[in-house]
Amino acid sequence: MKAESGTASRPRTSRTQRGFSLIEVMVSMVILVVGLVSLLGVFGVAMASTQTSQLNGTAKQLANEAIESILTARETANVTWTQIQNTGSGGIFVPGFVAIDCPGVDGIVGTVDDAACGLQIMKQPGPSGVYMNNCAIDICTPLTNFQRQILISPVFPPGGGLIPIATLRAVTITIQYQTPQFKVPRQYVLNTFISEYR
């Protein structure tokens, strides 16, 4: 009989039955981490875009509110045609960027009497989803992040005429606001024309 040796014989394994090497595991971990980090970056960009789109929507509504206020004042004859200009030209609209204040006594936004009214507040429905017109229940946000500029300028006839068209003016409303993602303020600009005739 043959004597047994002290070492056990190892079963032979083929190359296809071996496990992953440490280098293969490390490479796969690096690939997985890079994929997850890029996915987190996509979520961050999506959240920033959602916030920016909400600010863009608010800016658009504020610009529309200003032009509607000007048109309503003209339609109801609350102001004369000569008053639908900036204050430097004999009108009632304040030039330059100013805070978004509530309409003053005249009910027109962007005029001299707005500052006495105070900062405008954006109201949204509260947790119930029902608009109650009560800041204790609804979400009330002061529009401190926004500024409005209303520029009303004469329109000259095509072909380089020197005398402006007396019954037509160009209105440019610019809403400027700051977003957390950009250091430079963003702007929403609304251009239109207003005629003396209703």
Is the pLDDT assigned to residue 6 strictly greater than 60?
Answer: no
Q: Give the residue extent of every domain in the chain.
A: 23-195
Give the residue, 160 or 196, on which the prediction is more confident: 196
Task: Quote the CA–CA distance of 73 and 132 in Å, as a whole number.
Answer: 29
pTM: 0.71
Q: Using CB atoms within 10 A of its CB, is residue 180 exposed (0-12), middle (13-18) or buried (19+)?
A: exposed
Q: Using one digit for the tens of pLDDT, what is the confidence trace for 25-59?
A: 899 999 999 999 988 888 877 777 777 788 888 89
Please tell me which residue, 160 or 100, carries the higher pLDDT value.
Answer: 100
At residue 142, the pLDDT reads 85
Q: What is the DSSP secondary structure assignment for residue 152, as one 8-state letter? A: E
Q: Distance between CA 7 and CA 26 in Å, rounded? A: 34
